[in-house]
C-alpha cells in the first residue's frame, strides 16, 4: 500500500507544478520579463507534463496557461476583451505543443540523448512562429537581454540560442529529478549543460573585454514630437482613419497644422546640427503630410541637410487627399515612410514600412515591398527599419546582410510596451552587429552599439526632453 500512496501523492503534485508554472509564466512575459521566471517555469511545466497523461495533461494546461497570457497581455495587446481571450487561448495552445510532443516521445528516444529532445522542440516552435504575423512577440528570450555577457550569444546564434539553452536547462533538471537527484545517473546531461553555459558566458565576457575601439563614430540626434504636437498628431490620425468624408476647408486646416509641426521639427533638427549632430532622425510618424505638399516640404528638408551638411531621417506618414474627399471607412492610402536625405541635400533612399500591425495599421496603410536599401557615408553604411519590423529577426537580417553599420529605426510605442520593444531592438543590434539609433515617441528613445550597450536613452514618459544627442560607433 505504501508504494501506491507514494505514487498517488506524486501524481497529485503535478497540479502543484502546474500552478507554479502558471505563476512563473506570468512573470516570464509582459513588458519586463524576468529571466529567472523563464528558467523555472519551463522546469515546472515540463515536470507537470511528464507526470500526466498526454491528452488529459494538454487539455487541462491549455485553459490554465491562457490565464497568465491574458493578464500579462492587458495593455500590451490592443484587442477587445473577447478577442484577447481568444488570443490568449491560441497562444496557450501553440506554446504547449513542444511539451506534449516531448511527453509523447522522450521515453522513445535513447536515454543518453533524451535530454536534447525538449530544447530542440521548443526552439523549433519559436523559430517557425517567427515567420507568422506575430514574429517574436512573446518570445521569452528577450528576458535575457538584461545580462550583458549572456546577451553576446545573440551574435552567434541569434535569439534562438537563448531558447535552446533555457529549454536545455529544463530538460536536464527534469532528467536529474527523474533520476532521484542522483548525480551519478544524470552526470552527462548536467556536465553538458554546465560546460555549454560556461562557454557561452566566457564568450560573452571575452567579447566585451576585447571589443575593439571603433574606427569611426557618428554624432547622432533623435527627435520626437513634443507632447502638444503628439496630441495633435493622434487626433489628426484618428480623424483620417475614420474614413469620414472631408471638405476642402477641413483638409486645408489639417495641412496648416501639420506644416507647422514639420517646420518646428526642421528648426529643432537645425539646432541638433548646430550641437554637432551629423545624423538627425525623427521618431515614427512625427508628422502627417499630404501628397500635394510632399514636394514643397521635402525640398525644405533637403535645403537644411545641404546647408548644415547633415544626414536627415524624416519619419512621416503620407496621405492622399483624394481618398479623403469620399466616404471610405478603410483607407489603404496611408504610407509610413522614413526618408533619408544625404548631406548634399538629395534623397538617399525611402524605406516604407512593410510589416504592419494587424488591426492597427494593416487596414489603413499600404505595406512597403520589404526590400532594404542602404547609403554609404564617410562614417558608415546607413539603413533603416520602422518600429514593428524589429520583432522579425529573419526580416531585419536582410539589413544585416547589406553590411549595415548604423540602422535607423523610427518607432512609436505606448507605455505598456516601451521596455519589451526596446529589448527587441537591442537584440537585433547584437544579432547583426550594427549600431542602432531608435528615436521613439511614447516609448524609449535609445542609441545602442553592436554589443547591445546603451550609449544613450530617453524615456518619453519620464523625461520632458524630446531629443537625444549620442555618439555611435
DSSP class per residue in 358-418: TTTTTTTB--------EEEETTEEEEE--GGGGG-HHHHHHHHHTT-SEEE--EE--GGGH
Q: Is the pLDDT of residue 64 over 80?
A: yes
Q: Is the pLDDT of residue 3 over 60?
A: no
Q: Is the pLDDT of residue 330 over 60?
A: no
* Cα 468 to Cα 455: distance, rounded to the nearest angstrom: 11
Q: Is the pLDDT of residue 2 over 90?
A: no
pLDDT recorded at residue 328? 59
- Give the pLDDT confidence of 436-457 residue by residue, as tens digits: 999 999 999 999 999 999 999 9
CB-side neighbour CA atoms (13 Å) of 227: 6
* Cα 387 to Cα 407: distance, rounded to the nearest angstrom: 12
Cα–Cα nearest to 176, from 48, 53, 43, 52: 43
Q: Is the pLDDT of residue 236 over 90?
A: no
Q: Is the pLDDT of residue 39 over 60?
A: yes
Q: Is the pLDDT of residue 11 over 80?
A: no
Span 370-376, average pLDDT: 94
Task: Please give the angle made by the CA atoms of 30, 33 and 37, to the nearest 5 degrees.
Answer: 120
CB atoms < 10 A from the CB of 416, how many?
A: 15
* Cα 91 to Cα 96: distance, rounded to the nearest angstrom: 9
What is the band of 219 on the pLDDT scale with cuts at 50, 70, 90?
very high
What is the band of 464 on the pLDDT scale with cuts at 50, 70, 90?
confident
Instruction: Kindly report the average pLDDT of the chain as a whole number.
Output: 91
Q: Is the pLDDT of residue 243 over 90?
A: no
Q: How many residues are given for the chain? A: 473
pLDDT recorded at residue 244? 72
pLDDT recorded at residue 80? 92
- Give the pLDDT confidence of 135-150 residue by residue, as tens digits: 999 999 999 988 999 9
Q: Is the pLDDT of residue 404 over 90?
A: yes
CB atoms < 10 A from the CB of 54, how many?
A: 15
- Where on the phi/psi map is residue 117: left (φ > 0), alpha (ψ -120 to 50), or beta? alpha
* Cα 453 to Cα 472: distance, rounded to the nearest angstrom: 11
* Cα 415 to Cα 123: distance, rounded to the nearest angstrom: 30
Span 380-385, average pLDDT: 95
Name beta bridge partners: 282.
223
Which string of DSSP letters, residue by residue, matches 160-212?
HHHHHHHHHHHHHHHHHHHTTT-HHHHHHHHHHHHHHHHHHHHHHHHHHHTPP
* CA 285 to each of CA 199, 265, 314: distance values in angstroms, whole numbers, following the listed order: 43, 12, 9
What is the band of 295 on the pLDDT scale with cuts at 50, 70, 90?
confident
Q: What is the share, in percent, of the chain residues with pLDDT greater than 90?
A: 73
In this predicted structure, which of 2-11, 73-82, 142-151, 223-232 has the lowest mean pLDDT? 2-11
In this predicted structure, which of 75-84, 103-112, 120-129, 239-248 has the lowest mean pLDDT? 239-248
Greater confidence (467 vs 68) lies with: 68
Cα–Cα nearest to 241, from 388, 370, 359: 359
* Cα 163 to Cα 85: distance, rounded to the nearest angstrom: 26
pLDDT recorded at residue 429? 97
What is the band of 254 on the pLDDT scale with cuts at 50, 70, 90?
confident
Cα–Cα nearest to 431, from 443, 423, 421: 423
* Cα 116 to Cα 175: distance, rounded to the nearest angstrom: 11
* Cα 175 to Cα 113: distance, rounded to the nearest angstrom: 11
pLDDT recorded at residue 291? 81
Greater confidence (410 vs 332) lies with: 410
* Cα 11 to Cα 29: distance, rounded to the nearest angstrom: 28
Contact between 457 and 447 under an 8 Å Cβ cutoff? The reply is yes
DSSP state of 334: B
Q: Is the pLDDT of residue 63 over 70?
A: yes
What is the band of 1 on the pLDDT scale with cuts at 50, 70, 90?
very low
Angle between helix 81-95 and 117-129 (nearest 10):
140
Amino acid at each position: 500500500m505504501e508504494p501506491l500512496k507514494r505514487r498517488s501523492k506524486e501524481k497529485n503534485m503535478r497540479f502543484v507544478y502546474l500552478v507554479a508554472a502558471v505563476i512563473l509564466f506570468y512573470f516570464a512575459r509582459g513588458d519586463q520579463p524576468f529571466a529567472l521566471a523563464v528558467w523555472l517555469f519551463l522546469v515546472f511545466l515540463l515536470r507537470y507534463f511528464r507526470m500526466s497523461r498526454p491528452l488529459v495533461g494538454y487539455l487541462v494546461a491549455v485553459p490554465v496557461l491562457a490565464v497568465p497570457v491574458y493578464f500579462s497581455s492587458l495593455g500590451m495587446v490592443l484587442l477587445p476583451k473577447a478577442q484577447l481571450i481568444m488570443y490568449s487561448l491560441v497562444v496557450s495552445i501553440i506554446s504547449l505543443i513542444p511539451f506534449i510532443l516531448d511527453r509523447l516521445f522522450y521515453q522513445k528516444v535513447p536515454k543518453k540523448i533524451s535530454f536534447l529532445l525538449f530544447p530542440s522542440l521548443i526552439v523549433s516552435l519559436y523559430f517557425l512562429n517567427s515567420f507568422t504575423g506575430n514574429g517574436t512577440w512573446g518570445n521569452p528570450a528577450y528576458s535575457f537581454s538584461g545580462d550583458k555577457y549572456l546577451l553576446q550569444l545573440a551574435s552567434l546564434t541569434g535569439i534562438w540560442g537563448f531558447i535552446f539553452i533555457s529549454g536545455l536547462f529544463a530538460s536536464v533538471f527534469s532528467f536529474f529529478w527523474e533520476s532521484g537527484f542522483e548525480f551519478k545517473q544524470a552526470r552527462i546531461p548536467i556536465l553538458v549543460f554546465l560546460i555549454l553555459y560556461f562557454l557561452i558566458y566566457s564568450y560573452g565576457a571575452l567579447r566585451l573585454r576585447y571589443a575593439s575601439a571603433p574606427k569611426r563614430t557618428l554624432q547622432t540626434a533623435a527627435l520626437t514630437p513634443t507632447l502638444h504636437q503628439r496630441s495633435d498628431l493622434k487626433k489628426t490620425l484618428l480623424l483620417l482613419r475614420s474614413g469620414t468624408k472631408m471638405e476642402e476647408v477641413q483638409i486645408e486646416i489639417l495641412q496648416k497644422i501639420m506644416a507647422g509641426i514639420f517646420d518646428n521639427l526642421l528648426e529643432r533638427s537645425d539646432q541638433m546640427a548646430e550641437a554637432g549632430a551629423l545624423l538627425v532622425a525623427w521618431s515614427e510618424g512625427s508628422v502627417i503630410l499630404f501628397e500635394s505638399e510632399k514636394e514643397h516640404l521635402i525640398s525644405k528638408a533637403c535645403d537644411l541637410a545641404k546647408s548644415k551638411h547633415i544626414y536627415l531621417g524624416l519619419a512621416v506618414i503620407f496621405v492622399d487627399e483624394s481618398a479623403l474627399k469620399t466616404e471610405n471607412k478603410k483607407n489603404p492610402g496611408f504610407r509610413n515612410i522614413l526618408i533619408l536625405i544625404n548631406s548634399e541635400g538629395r534623397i538617399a533612399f525611402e524605406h516604407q514600412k512593410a510589416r504592419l500591425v494587424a488591426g492597427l495599421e494593416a487596414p489603413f496603410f499600404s505595406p512597403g515591398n520589404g526590400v532594404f536599401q542602404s547609403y554609404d557615408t564617410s562614417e558608415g553604411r546607413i539603413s533603416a527599419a520602422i518600429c514593428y519590423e524589429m520583432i522579425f529577426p529573419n526580416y531585419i537580417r536582410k539589413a544585416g546582410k547589406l553590411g549595415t553599420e548604423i540602422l535607423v529605426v523610427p518607432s512609436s510605442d505606448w507605455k505598456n510596451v516601451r521596455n519589451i520593444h526596446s529589448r527587441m531592438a537591442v537584440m537585433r543590434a547584437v544579432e547583426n552587429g550594427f549600431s542602432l539609433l531608435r528615436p521613439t515617441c511614447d516609448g524609449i528613445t535609445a542609441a545602442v552599439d553592436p554589443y547591445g550597450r546603451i550609449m544613450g536613452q530617453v524615456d518619453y514618459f519620464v523625461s520632458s526632453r524630446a531629443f537625444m544627442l549620442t555618439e555611435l560607433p
